[in-house]
C-alpha cells in the first residue's frame, strides 16, 4: 500500500460535448460542482485469468461516493493526455497494475451525490487482463476484491446502494453487449 497523492482538485479536466469534441478545460473541483459540467472520463475493468473482475472500494476521502464499491479504476485524462495513456497511468498510480487495455465503448451519464456534487461524464470504458496483486493507493482506495461475474450480478441487485452509479450502468452494458469479447481474454491461449 502507498499513499502518494495522484488526484488534485485543481487539475485541468477536458470539457467535451456529447460527440466527445473538446470544448476547453476546467479544474476538477468546478467540473463536479452542482449538476456537473460534461467532461471526458474513463472506466477500466480488469479481469484475472479465473474470469473474476477486480473491484475497488473508494476511499473515505473521496468527495463523491466515498466508501462505495466501483469498477477497478476510473478517473479523468488531464489536459493534453489521450485516454488510453491516462487509463494506464491511473491503473498504475491507484493499483500498481500494468495491463494491455482494450477500448469497448463510450457513453454519457450524469449522477448526483447528495449535496456534494455530481458526475457528468463522457466515459470511455476499457477492459484488460492481469493476475498482478493490487498495490493500492490509500488516498484513492479503501480496499479491493476480486468477484465472480455472477456474484457481482447478484450483489448489484441485493445491495444496489453499495455500488457506484457508473458501475451499475457499465456492468449492465458489459454483460449484455460485450461478454463474449470479455470471456475471450481468459479463454484464449
Which residue, chain included where needed, has cell 499513499? 3
Give the per-residue pLDDT at 158: 97
Give the per-residue pLDDT at 118: 86
b/e sequence 121-158, b meaning 16+ C-beta within 10 Å:
bbbbbbbbbbeeebebbebbbbebebeebeebeeebee
- pTM for the model stands at 0.92
Give the per-residue pLDDT at 50: 94
The reply to whether 121 belongs to the active site is yes
Which of 31, 57, 73, 74 is the catalytic position?
74
Q: What is the spatial distance between Cα 134 and Cα 167, in angstroms, rounded to a whole number? A: 19
Which of 57, 94, 119, 121 is the catalytic position?
121
Q: Using alpha carbons, select from 98, 166, 91 the residue that is nearest to residue 174.
A: 166
Which ranges of the chain have pLDDT less than 50? 1-2, 6, 8
Give the per-residue pLDDT at 63: 82
Q: Domains in the chain, ordered, with CATH?
A: 12-187 (3.90.79.10)
Give the per-residue pLDDT at 26: 92
Give the per-residue pLDDT at 9: 53
Residues 56 and 71 sit within 8 Å (Cβ to Cβ): yes
The reply to whether 74 belongs to the active site is yes
Amino acid at each position: 500500500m502507498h499513499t502518494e497523492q495522484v488526484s488534485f482538485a485543481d487539475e485541468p479536466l477536458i470539457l467535451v460535448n456529447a460527440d466527445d469534441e473538446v470544448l476547453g478545460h476546467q479544474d476538477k473541483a468546478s467540473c463536479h460542482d452542482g449538476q456537473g459540467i460534461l467532461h471526458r472520463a474513463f472506466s477500466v475493468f480488469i479481469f484475472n485469468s479465473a474470469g473474476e473482475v477486480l473491484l475497488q472500494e473508494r476511499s473515505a476521502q473521496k468527495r463523491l461516493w466515498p466508501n462505495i464499491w466501483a469498477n477497478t479504476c476510473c478517473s479523468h485524462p488531464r489536459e493534453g493526455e489521450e485516454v488510453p495513456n491516462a487509463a494506464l497511468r491511473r491503473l498504475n498510480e491507484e493499483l500498481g497494475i500494468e495491463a494491455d487495455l482494450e477500448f469497448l465503448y463510450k457513453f454519457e451519464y450524469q449522477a448526483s451525490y447528495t449535496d456534494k456534487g455530481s458526475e457528468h461524464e463522457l466515459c470511455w470504458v476499457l477492459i484488460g487482463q492481469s493476475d498482478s496483486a493490487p498495490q493500492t493507493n490509500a488516498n484513492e482506495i479503501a480496499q479491493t476484491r476480486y468477484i465472480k461475474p455472477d456474484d457481482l450480478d447478484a450483489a448489484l441487485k441485493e445491495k444496489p446502494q453499495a455500488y457506484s452509479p457508473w458501475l451499475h450502468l457499465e456492468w449492465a452494458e458489459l454483460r449484455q453487449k460485450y461478454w463474449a469479447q470479455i470471456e475471450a481474454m481468459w479463454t484464449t491461449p
